[in-house]
């Protein structure tokens, strides 16, 4: 199933301070992951400071893929997730760590032989996931929930994976905000990972 192309409009200012259209067209960075065929990251924008500097700077999506947002920053992207395959679900955790290396964050992978899904991972961020089309199952350490169009997941730095058991590609929009764990949660996560 081919999902529609994503159209991006970015505004800016001219020399007199008037609002203008700076960019208008398709996303310049849409990358299918080699390690997980069919998974496509569509990079929309990111910021690298809080508060975000408002300027007419270069398009920040032209660099290498990175799973988490920049330090003190944000990231917005669409991700197309194909149905889980037998090949994916039977691959080892070490094989699938390659997928996280491909998106610039090998340490995000928390997969192990006892993990509930081979793509379990965690980032120190608040992630808003909005299902646009299709259906996914959010898998946590102790539970699962099915999300469909209109569902919004507020993912607060938890260990998780996305399974597509629907038979059709799902498109989900993510807005990621850099975060820092509360000390008690950081300690609990550290002891859990040992």
* Whole-structure pTM value: 0.94
Cβ distance 188 to 149 under 8 Å? no
For residue 89, the SS3 value is: helix
Only one residue has tokens 């990621």, namely 176
Q: What pLDDT, in 10s, does the model give residues 143-156? A: 999 999 999 999 99
The CATH architecture one would assign to domain 29-193 is Sandwich (2.60)
> What are the residues whose beta carbons fall under 8 Å from the beta carbon of 193, sequence distance 6 or more?
110
Residue 43 β-bridge partners: 77
What is the residue-level pLDDT of the chain in tens, covering all 194 positions? 678 999 999 999 999 999 999 999 999 999 999 999 999 999 999 999 999 999 999 999 999 999 999 999 999 999 999 999 888 878 877 777 878 999 999 899 998 888 899 899 999 999 999 999 999 999 999 999 999 999 999 999 999 999 999 999 999 999 999 999 999 999 999 887 66
Q: What pLDDT, in 10s, does the model give residues 101-130? A: 999 998 999 988 888 998 999 999 999 999
């Amino acid at each position: 199933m081919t999902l529609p192309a994503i159209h991006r409009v970015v505004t800016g200012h001219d020399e007199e301070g008037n609002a203008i259209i700076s960019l208008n067209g398709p996303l310049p960075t849409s990358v299918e992951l080699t390690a997980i065929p069919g998974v496509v990251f569509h990079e929309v924008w990111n910021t690298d400071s809080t508060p975000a500097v408002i300027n007419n700077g270069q398009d920040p999506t032209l660099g290498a893929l990175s799973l988490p947002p920049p330090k003190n920053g944000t990231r917005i992207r669409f991700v197309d997730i194909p149905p889980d395959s037998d090949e994916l679900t039977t691959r080892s955790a070490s094989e699938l760590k390659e997928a996280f290396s491909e998106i610039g964050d090998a340490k995000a992978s928390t997969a192990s032989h006892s993990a509930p899904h081979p793509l379990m991972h965690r980032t120190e961020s608040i992630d808003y996931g909005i299902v646009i089309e299709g259906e996914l199952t959010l898998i946590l350490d102790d539970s699962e929930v099915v999300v469909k169009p209109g569902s919004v997941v507020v993912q607060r730095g938890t260990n998780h994976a996305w399974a597509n058991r629907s038979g059709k590609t799902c498109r989900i929009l993510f807005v990621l905000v850099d975060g820092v764990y509360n000390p008690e949660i950081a300690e609990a996560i550290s002891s859990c990972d040992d």
